[in-house]
Amino acid sequence: MEITSEIFEVGGGDLTLPDDAAIYLIKFGKEAALVDAGTGRGTERLLANIEECGVEPQQIKLLLITHCHYDHTGGAAELKRRIGLEIVAHTLDALYLETGDNRVTAASWYGAALESFGVDRKLTGHKAEILLGGRKIDVFHAPGHSPGSVVYLTESDGLKVLFAHDVHGPLDPGLLSNRGDYQKSLEMLLSIGADVLCEGHYGVYRGKSEVENFIRQFLKE
């Protein structure tokens, strides 16, 4: 699904498999990045969808992980083997990916085991900046759903596009969720004023008011 002329949804739901969270493709010039990797059970379909967008696998330089949960990261190890991309995640979630922690990554919820993998670039602090094809992608730490949840923000076709997966939660002690952090992160997302929200399970929201309304419904639940 085309979101802008440079951003596409290539995985999740009917695009790959129902257990996969949404996977987004960003193509800036000759370089591309994926936002999240799904469970890994639909990797062949994912790669086919990417090629349908006019992107060759070797153009994908980065895998931008929003958080450690299995439906977003289960396919990361296989993509690393197949493409050789650089994996980016916040250091607070990287621990559970590198040790294959099936409880904190929620792999056990899916009756699966996470294949552990190394995180090549560990993000720290509140904000970071990533370059792709000479263009900027901002990263903001947005803890709550998981300790190391992050969101990615970039501009495409004159629009502020926000990749904020699992805005809706859920919050669970086994996932090390924190309700206070979650509420603060929602407030931070509102302050961004995005034109487009690419969510992990609830689709794509267009227009500042639609984005705001979607995020606001989860405040103080």
pLDDT single digits (tens) 106-151? 999 999 999 999 999 999 999 999 999 999 999 999 999 999 999 9
The residues, ordered by sequence, that sit 6+ positions from 9 with a Cβ below 8 Å of its Cβ are 1, 3, 15, 22, 23, 24, 25, 198, 204
Do 59 and 33 touch, CB atoms closer than 8 A? no
The reported pLDDT for the residue numbered 67 is 98
The reported pLDDT for the residue numbered 221 is 58
Q: What is the pTM of this model?
A: 0.97
Average pLDDT, the chain: 97
Measured distance between the N- and C-terminal CA atoms of the chain, rounded to whole angstroms: 31
Average pLDDT value for residue range 188-194: 97
Do 104 and 174 touch, CB atoms closer than 8 A? yes
Our measurement of the distance from residue 182's CA atom to the centroid of its chain's CA atoms, rounded to an integer in Å, reads 16
Place of tokens 């951003």: 7
The reported pLDDT for the residue numbered 131 is 98
Is 68 in a helix, a strand, or coil?
A: coil
Work out whether strand 23-28 and strand 7-11 pair parallel, antiparallel, or are unpaired.
antiparallel
The reported pLDDT for the residue numbered 220 is 73
**pLDDT digits 0-9 by tens, 24-69:** 999 999 999 999 999 999 999 999 999 999 999 999 999 999 999 9
May I ask the CATH architecture of the domain 7-216? 4-Layer Sandwich (3.60)
